[in-house]
Amino acid sequence: MPAGPRPFPPESLRHAAAGARLELTDDRLEEVGQLLTDTYALIDLIDDVPLGETPPATAFDARWEA
């Protein structure tokens, strides 16, 4: 689990944008970088959810038996 926010350096964003054939201005790259940082921060919160004895989803049996 990361200790803090995971920022996206501008050069990494430029590389990803070029791979997606997106031409983004510096201002837009900054906005996208902040959005990705915030999104990953939310995803990282999932690690803090205590699951206890919750079985993995692969163990779920959805059959309806009466």
Domain limits of the chain? 1-49
Q: Would you call 2 exposed, middle or buried from its count of C-beta atoms within 10 A (0-12, 13-18, 19+)?
A: exposed
- Report how far residue 26's alpha carbon sits from residue 34's, in angstroms, rounded to the nearest whole number: 12
What's the pLDDT score for residue 14?
Answer: 92
Q: Could you tell me the pTM of the whole model? A: 0.62
Beta carbons within 10 angstroms of residue 56's beta carbon = 7
- Residue 2 DSSP symbol: -
Dump pLDDT digits (tens) for 19-62: 999 999 989 999 999 998 999 899 888 888 887 887 777 766 77
Looking at residue 10, what is its pLDDT? 85
Q: Which fold has domain 1-49?
A: Histone, subunit A (1.10.20)
